[in-house]
Amino acid sequence: GDSVTQMEGPVTLSEEAFLTINCTYTATGYPSLFWYVQYPGEGLQLLLKATKADDKGSNKGFEATYRKETTSFHLEKGSVQVSDSAVYFCALIKAAGNKLTFGGGTRVLVKP
């Protein structure tokens, strides 16, 4: 079946450091890929998405590129802030699919 694998956290960084969170997926066909962010005590917020190979999703300084050849969708940000401390989830949805399949989440802690 479909699956999403993320690097385990927690990831602890200093403010202004570079952030990378690895995400790889297993799915047939050409799924759409997403990154969601969950702040403490809240629901999920859509951070960015990509719907086809080589698409780059970007938002709030975060970027991720859909790599079909490596089945990956790694999240990056060049300079993190304390406010970026959250749990980040990588997810996919298949064509004509109705459900999101999520990775286990990666907790990021940014220290001042």
**Where do contacts with another protein occur on this chain (CB under 8 A)?**
4, 31-32, 34, 36, 42-46, 49, 51, 89, 91, 93-105
Nearer to another protein, 21 or 91 (CB): 91
Nearer to another protein, 10 or 61 (CB): 10
Nearer to another protein, 34 or 73 (CB): 34
Question: Is the separation of the CB atoms in 110 and 18 below 8 Å?
Answer: no
Question: Is the separation of the CB atoms in 32 and 91 below 8 Å?
Answer: no
Nearer to another protein, 19 or 87 (CB): 87
Instruction: Report the nearest approach of another protein to the CB of residue 112 (Å).
Output: 25
Burial of 41 (0-12, 13-18, 19+ CB in 10 A): exposed
Instruction: Report the nearest approach of another protein to the CB of residue 79 (Å).
Output: 27
Instruction: Report the nearest approach of another protein to the CB of residue 96 (Å).
Output: 4
Q: How many CA atoms lie within 13 A of 112 on its CB side?
A: 1
Instruction: Report the nearest approach of another protein to the CB of residue 37 (Å).
Output: 11
Report the distance separating Cα 35 and Cα 33, nearest Å: 7
Residue type, 12: T
